[in-house]
A and B are shown apart, each in its own frame.
Chain A
């Protein structure tokens, strides 16, 4: 999509949205990111998104003129999560209660296993995985968002993936493949 938008040379930039409209259009994505960052804690996710959006709101007029307000908001969210974790590291918990939502789910157990495994990673490793594999950010973009070096992002990503693979276990990895999630390339 970014490429598609970039290809529209000659088009005037899309006008900056108003804050409520921005929240209406991007809130869902932010909630999902927060949900992954918190390892599936719906209440904490909502709290983090509200806190992050509060920070965005204060500077909204400036942020709304940025090329990518959504990317900015996502970065604020990740940093809100990390600072929350620093404050609350002693009370860390992984939720056992997941919301009851109706989705077409090829393997609900896998999703829950994945969330729990994410929740057991160190906060910064989790942020690296979410930015890299959920947000599709490059190593450099992830490094900039987390104020880490590219090398640190690569090594954290590598370590966290290894842990995810271990935590998910052979059964879950096989389940991913069985669930039709096989890599096509």
Chain B
């Protein structure tokens, strides 16, 4: 018997709200010790696991004559001439190398992981570390990683999407050797004042060097800007010195291959965002008008008098994914202001309003209407007040939920 029938939705909704109230009593002061504590535990855990591996690896090295087992490979070649077989680096050596790439100041290593000689461990193609760096103007967290990865530069080095991630600026440079450098200056809407500047250098062979610097601790900014400016950050990530770290890791068998000529981008099964926005524009009710379009995110800015909102469209064609969406919509726990309605032909129509969280209602920040047809096809409209995809403002939206519902049910989407 469904739980809902046995206990009533009122009690469930009230229970969920009461849980949130009880969760508010959770202590906040523990939060900032979490990362360090977790890392200590993680290292102990990994240490236990690796202890069993060390013996096996030692035997393997002896059998191989102890040389050439962890040779340079293609990753190192982009930094210069083909590398000689290089012994693995210790974490201390890597930290020393990273320290040498930083401006003058003091460095304290908080985490430093290197694959070392443990070929069988998960991270044999990755170096990772967290440092606290003090240039005399305040301690800042710096995170570095060096991967012999599997992605091409066009995937590995991208600017974050300013629509979903607060961003001050992003510069992306393609170099003559095909490598890509990105300097992405980001923020985090959860932590006012935080600056998170990330430098990425991605090479065609899958090697990725990444350095992220904060203006203090990630959750507690302590200075205006991170310690390295954009130029220093770019010089740091593209330093030839990383070649030593790369060469000390074995080549990745899944390193990217040159693209095959016959590879074609997949045909879109749904109408293009431009077509979706054109359809939505035709369906806008009298008294409302589009005042902007963002095709990349299939989002239309709609104005009605003094009210301006964003409306985003998602269309899923008939098929497995569409049926999964429908199942989720049918079986999920209803949220407080959600209304589900089944039409005689089996079509499911859902409207909803919710706040900061699916069950929050005060203030309401999101307005939605969705239709799920029996063949799996579904059309979803989401409305919010705000300039981007992470800030939501309360207030009357340009389109009411009923107007969203009328638009989403229009046969135009099925053409």
Chain A positions within 8 Å of B, measured between CB atoms, are: 1, 3-12, 14-15, 18-21, 23-25, 27-28, 30-36, 40, 42, 45-46, 49-62, 98-99, 101, 103, 105-107, 110-111, 114-115, 118, 129-130, 132-134, 136, 138-140, 154, 157-158, 161-162, 164-165, 173, 176-177, 181-185
Chain A residues, Cβ within 8 Å of B17:
176, 181
8 additional contacts (CB under 8 A) given A20-B143, A24-B217, A58-B46: A3-B314, A7-B312, A9-B298, A23-B34, A31-B27, A54-B45, A57-B41, A114-B18
**Cβ contact within 8 Å between A158 and B6:** yes
B318 interface residue per 8 A CB criterion:
no
Chain B positions within 8 Å of A, measured between CB atoms, are: 1-3, 6-7, 9-28, 30-31, 33-35, 37-46, 49, 111, 122-123, 126, 128, 130, 141, 143, 145, 147, 158, 160-161, 163-165, 188, 190-191, 196, 212, 217-219, 273, 295-299, 312-314, 328, 331-334, 336-339, 357-359, 361, 366, 368, 380, 382, 384, 389
Partner of A49, one of B34, B43, B141: B34
When C-beta atoms are compared, the residue in chain A nearest to B156 turns out to be: A15
**Cβ contact within 8 Å between B11 and A57:** no
| Interchain residue pairs with CB less than 8 A apart (8) | A8-B163, A12-B161, A14-B165, A20-B143, A45-B30, A50-B38, A107-B21, A185-B334
Partner of B39, one of A8, A36, A57, A118: A57
**Cβ contact within 8 Å between B191 and A24:** yes
A24–B158 CA distance with the chains assembled, in angstroms:
23
Please judge, given known A-B contacts A9-B273, A11-B164, A49-B34, whether A20 and B218 are in contact too, CB under 8 Å.
Answer: yes
**Cβ contact within 8 Å between A177 and B14:** yes
Chain A nearest CB: distance from B403 CB in Å? Answer: 18
**Cβ contact within 8 Å between A103 and B25:** yes
A4–B298 CA distance with the chains assembled, in angstroms:
12
Partner of A4, one of B25, B40, B312: B312
Please judge, given known A-B contacts A7-B313, A8-B297, whether A181 and B14 are in contact too, CB under 8 Å.
Answer: yes
A129–B158 CA distance with the chains assembled, in angstroms:
40
Chain A residues, Cβ within 8 Å of B24:
32, 101, 103, 105, 111
A107–B42 CA distance with the chains assembled, in angstroms:
39
A132–B358 CA distance with the chains assembled, in angstroms:
13
Chain A residues, Cβ within 8 Å of B16:
133-134
Please judge, given known A-B contacts A27-B34, A111-B21, A115-B25, whether A11 and B163 are in contact too, CB under 8 Å.
Answer: yes
A107–B17 CA distance with the chains assembled, in angstroms:
12
When C-beta atoms are compared, the residue in chain B nearest to A23 turns out to be: B35
**Cβ contact within 8 Å between A61 and B128:** yes
**Cβ contact within 8 Å between B37 and A50:** yes
Question: Which 3 pairs between the two chains have the least Cβ-Cβ distance?
Answer: A54-B41, A53-B38, A57-B42
**Cβ contact within 8 Å between A53 and B35:** yes
When C-beta atoms are compared, the residue in chain B nearest to A136 turns out to be: B358
**Cβ contact within 8 Å between A182 and B27:** no
Chain B residues, Cβ within 8 Å of A130:
19
Chain B residues, Cβ within 8 Å of A139:
331
Chain B nearest CB: distance from A138 CB in Å? Answer: 6
Instruction: Name B's interface SS.
Output: mixed
When C-beta atoms are compared, the residue in chain A nearest to B191 turns out to be: A24
**Cβ contact within 8 Å between B298 and A7:** yes
Chain B residues, Cβ within 8 Å of A138:
328, 331-333
Partner of B314, one of A7, A27, A59, A105: A7
Chain B nearest CB: distance from A81 CB in Å? Answer: 14
Chain A nearest CB: distance from B127 CB in Å? Answer: 10
Chain A residues, Cβ within 8 Å of B190:
24-25
**Cβ contact within 8 Å between A136 and B359:** yes
Partner of A54, one of B10, B30, B39, B164: B39
**Cβ contact within 8 Å between A165 and B25:** no
A1–B298 CA distance with the chains assembled, in angstroms:
16
A28–B25 CA distance with the chains assembled, in angstroms:
12
Partner of A133, one of B38, B314, B333: B333
Chain B residues, Cβ within 8 Å of A184:
336-337, 361
**Cβ contact within 8 Å between A23 and B143:** no
**Cβ contact within 8 Å between A20 and B141:** yes
**Cβ contact within 8 Å between B11 and A165:** yes
Chain A residues, Cβ within 8 Å of B273:
9-10
**Cβ contact within 8 Å between A18 and B11:** no
Chain B nearest CB: distance from A64 CB in Å? Answer: 10
Chain A nearest CB: distance from B354 CB in Å? Answer: 9
**Cβ contact within 8 Å between B339 and A185:** yes
Chain B residues, Cβ within 8 Å of A115:
22, 25
Please judge, given known A-B contacts A42-B30, A54-B45, whether A8 and B15 are in contact too, CB under 8 Å.
Answer: no
When C-beta atoms are compared, the residue in chain A nearest to B366 turns out to be: A4
When C-beta atoms are compared, the residue in chain B nearest to A154 turns out to be: B3
Partner of B297, one of A9, A46, A54, A61: A9
When C-beta atoms are compared, the residue in chain A nearest to B1 turns out to be: A158
Chain A nearest CB: distance from B118 CB in Å? Answer: 13
Chain B residues, Cβ within 8 Å of A5:
164, 389
A25–B166 CA distance with the chains assembled, in angstroms:
14
**Cβ contact within 8 Å between A31 and B26:** yes
A34–B25 CA distance with the chains assembled, in angstroms:
12
Please judge, given known A-B contacts A20-B141, A62-B122, A181-B18, whether A1 and B23 are in contact too, CB under 8 Å.
Answer: no
Partner of A51, one of B7, B30, B41: B41
